[in-house]
Amino acid sequence: MTQKPESANEKTKSAAGNYAVTMRDVHKWYGKFHVLKNINLNVEVGEKIVICGPSGSGKSTLIRCINRLEEHQQGEIFVEGIELSHDIKNIEIIRREVGMVFQHFNLFPHLTVLENCTLAPIWVRKMPLAEANAIAMEYLERVKIPEQADKYPGQLSGGQQQRVAIARSLCMKPRILLFDEPTSALDPEMIKEVLDVMIQLASEGITMICVTHEMGFARTVGDRVIFMDNGEIIEENNPDDFFLNPQHERTKLFLSQILNH
């Protein structure tokens, strides 16, 4: 553990206030395995970040540190100026403002689509039922499946389930949305319907951090692409330069692999 002098910490804290997410010298280990190595990242409010990299490079671990589904062991992470530490209060405040969409949707199978969407607003935001239902229907319309509101997740296709998952996150009106490979568990014909929803979202000013290998999406909405390998951020650039003019050997190798698919 590094013991930084108090003043340095205060300085990062005030600087972090202007960013949606700030990561400083973040390290994480699983036992002896060093998954995240010296991660430094500033995400502007409203910025769309795309993270890519080979399997096992630590992409999921990185974004899961942002809402503390995983704990980092060294360095500092600030979300909207609030530091992620063992303080459970801060964690809860941050989780309320940060939504997450998972690869395997993680909808609640025993609740209807509508109930999935209203659960957090009712129990976390203490919203009255009628208001929560109205907001949920609004977002279900936004993701184009209001007619499925009373079905159970198991009765929907994968693409529909993922759109419900996005609506469910939006119902909390988060300021930051994390996506962990939202389309990689979907059949090809369903990928587009989910990406369309995400592209539409991107135009609305919300901060988005997406782990994805969808290059079209990255180029349409991404402000910045980050390439990770082996627990490190190897390269970051705007999408056009990143894809057309990669600097690093490992980036070139990775791009040649995914573009040949």
Partner 1 sequence: MDWLFLDAAFTGGSRDECSAKAGGACWAVIGERLNLFTYGFYPVAERWRVNLSLVLLIFTLFPILFEKAPYRKYALHIAVAFPFVTAWLLVGGLGLTPVETDQFGGFMLTLVIGITGIGFSLPIGILLALGRQSKLPAIQIFSIGFIEFIRGVPLITLLFVASTMLNYFLPPGVTFDLLLRVLIMVTLFASAYMAEVIRGGLQAIPKGQFEAADSMGLHYWSAMRLIVLPQAIKISIPGIVNTFIGLYKDTTLVIIIGLLDPLGIGRASLADTRWTGLSTEVYLFVAIFFFISCFGMARYSQHLEKKLETDHKR
Ligand X SMILES: Nc1ncnc2c1ncn2[C@@H]1O[C@H](COP(=O)(O)OP(=O)(O)OP(=O)(O)O)[C@@H](O)[C@H]1O
* Residues engaged in binding ligand X (CB under 6 A): 30, 33, 35, 53, 55-61
Our CB check for partner 1 shows the closer of 5 and 154 to be 154
Q: Does 99 bind partner 1 (CB under 8 A)?
A: yes
Residue 161 binds Mg ion, judged by CB under 5 A = no
Write the binding mask 132 to 161 for partner 1: x where contact by CB under 8 A, - elsewhere.
--------------------xxxx------
Q: How far apart are alpha carbons 48 and 78 in whole angstroms?
A: 17
d(CA 77, CA 160): 33
Query: Does residue 207 touch Mg ion according to CB under 5 A?
Result: no
CB 167 within 8 A of CB 143: yes
Beta pairing partners, 245: none
CA–CA distance, 115 with 95 (Å, rounded to integer): 20
Nearer to ligand X, 58 or 222 (CB): 58
User: With contact defined as beta carbons under 8 Å apart, do 224 and 47 qualify?
Assistant: yes
Q: Is 175 in the site for partner 1 (CB under 8 A)?
A: no
Q: Which of 22, 57, 60, 67 binds Mg ion (CB under 5 A)?
A: 60
Nearer to ligand X among residue 59 and residue 168 (C-beta): 59
84, 78 contact by CB (below 8 A): yes
Report how far residue 78's alpha carbon sits from residue 23's, in angstroms, rounded to the nearest whole number.
Answer: 7
Provide the token pair at 172: 């909390």
Select the residue interacting with partner 1 from 18, 56, 71, 110 (CB under 8 A): 110
**Among candidates 17, 20, 46, 57, which has minimal Cα distance to 226?**
57
Q: Considering the rule CB under 5 A, would residue 61 count as an interface residue with Mg ion? A: no
* Tokens 């502007």 belong to residue: 44
Q: Does 30 bind partner 1 (CB under 8 A)?
A: no
Biggest distance spanned by C-alpha atoms of the chain: 56
Residue 22 Ramachandran class (φ > 0 left, ψ -120 to 50 alpha, else beta): beta
Q: Which of 175, 192 has the CB closer to partner 1?
A: 175
The yes or no reply on residue 82 touching partner 1 (CB under 8 A) is no
Q: CB of 179: closest distance to Mg ion in angstroms?
A: 11
Residue found by looking up tokens 């500033």 in the block: 42
* Residue reference for tokens 């390439």: 227
Nearer to partner 1, 39 or 177 (CB): 177
Among 43, 52, 84, 98, binds partner 1 (CB under 8 A): 98
Measured from the CB atom, the residue of 60 and 251 that comes closer to Mg ion is 60
Which positions lie near partner 1, rule CB under 8 A?
67, 69, 92, 95-96, 98-100, 102, 104, 106-111, 119-120, 123-124, 152-155, 172
Which positions lie near Mg ion, rule CB under 5 A?
60
